Structure 1
Amino acid sequence: MRCAQGGGLTDERPSFREKLRMEAAERFRQGDENPIIAHDLRVSVRSAQRWRRAWSQDGPRALASRGPASLPLLGDELFAVLEGELAKGPVAHGWPDQTWTLSRIKTLIGRRFHKSYTVQGVAALLKRHDWSCQVPARRAIERDENLVAGWVKETWPSVEGPWRCSTPGSSSRTKPDS
């Protein structure tokens, strides 16, 4: 039996699922019914039916785990090469600015490795390798953080002005004294 992309399972989970299938195979041999097996093993009746069909054709070895249905297109070695290409920056690969987007990375993977990913697949690949999406801060190159901090501290309070006091007849939330 195969699980797509590892079935989204942790390393322990595929072996647990295989033990369930082997237990089901033993129950098939004993002649138990699918709904009873499904209930006892806490799986769907449909899974028990599918397992029984595979077991009846090829025996218990048909229920053994054969790993994920597909392997990632870029393994760890190729991802290391991709990281090197990403470090060069988008301009080095022909884009007009220094912003990496998922579609640009998708195009780079296609050009460099002749592999086809979807944009969502690129996002999953990057996330799997602990990369995060970041939005660049749009700041002027000439920006001086010390001057900005001084302006906020000294100039902004005088520009902002004191809070207005409410007086009777203004849009105050309190009622005027009678």
Structure 2
Amino acid sequence: MSFKPSPVVPPLTRPQLSEARRARAAELFDQGCSGAEIARMLGVSDESVRRWKRVWEEGGADALRRRPATGRPPKLDDAQVERVRTALEQGAQRYGFEADLWTLERVGLVVERVTGVTLSRASVWRLLTGRLGWSLQRPERRAVERDESEIARWIAHEWPRIKKGR
């Protein structure tokens, strides 16, 4: 199991999409659109639009913005996450591992070396897939001695001969 950076920018999260929808509703409130029109355009219920309008009338567009997450703050701040990203991009062999593959255990050890913070396997997974945007990559298991040209020759010549003999 190995982790590599995802080549594509991750899509917006559900909270980000919801906030964008509420921001668009605020623009439409300013333009004087009716609640039913806004609900239809944004694909939400009339009740949601009524609730947003009450909040918008009391506090403006800023009142419709997302609130910061409550609960325990992350163990790593943004600067530490960037230090971990830089360390991981240097490769596993740079940190004394035999193969240049990242596993949760290896990443956890590097996080501890770079930041001094110990993370559980679950927290390492969330760091990689959430904050760093990496995805799971599994190496293909193939024999080192595998000869692609010989395999192609066998499929093209031997397999039809064997199949015909049945």
Report the TM-score when normalising by structure 1: 0.47
Aligned letter for 1:82?
V
Q: Following TM superposition, by how much is the alpha carbon of 1:73 offset from its aligned partner in structure 2, in angstroms? A: 2.3
- Check 1:93–1:151 CA distance in 2 against 1; reply closer, same or farther (3 A cut): same
Matches within 5 A, 1:1-178: 10-11=15-16, 12=18, 67-128=69-130, 129-140=132-143, 143=146, 145-159=148-162, 161-162=163-164, 164=166
Cα distance in structure 2, aligned partners of 1:79 and 1:158: 58
* RMSD between superposed Cα atoms in Å: 3.0
- Check 1:127–1:150 CA distance in 2 against 1; reply closer, same or farther (3 A cut): same
Equivalent position of 2:51 in the other structure? none
SS of 2:137's equivalent in the other structure is coil
Cα distance in structure 1, aligned partners of 2:128 and 2:122: 10
Structure number with greater CO (CA < 8 Å, separation at least 6) is 2
Q: Following TM superposition, by how much is the alpha carbon of 1:132 offset from its aligned partner in structure 2, in angstroms? A: 1.1
Larger fraction in strand: 2
Cα distance in structure 2, aligned partners of 1:119 and 1:153: 47
How many residue pairs get matched?
106
Q: Greater CA radius of gyration, 1 or 2?
A: 1
Identity of aligned residues (%): 28
Cα distance in structure 2, aligned partners of 1:72 and 1:99: 26
- Check 1:68–1:141 CA distance in 2 against 1; reply closer, same or farther (3 A cut): same
Cα distance in structure 2, aligned partners of 1:103 and 1:87: 16
Report the TM-score when normalising by structure 2: 0.50
Give the gaps of 5 or more residues in structure 1: 1-7, 17-64, 165-178
Give the gaps of 5 or more residues in structure 2: 1-12, 23-66
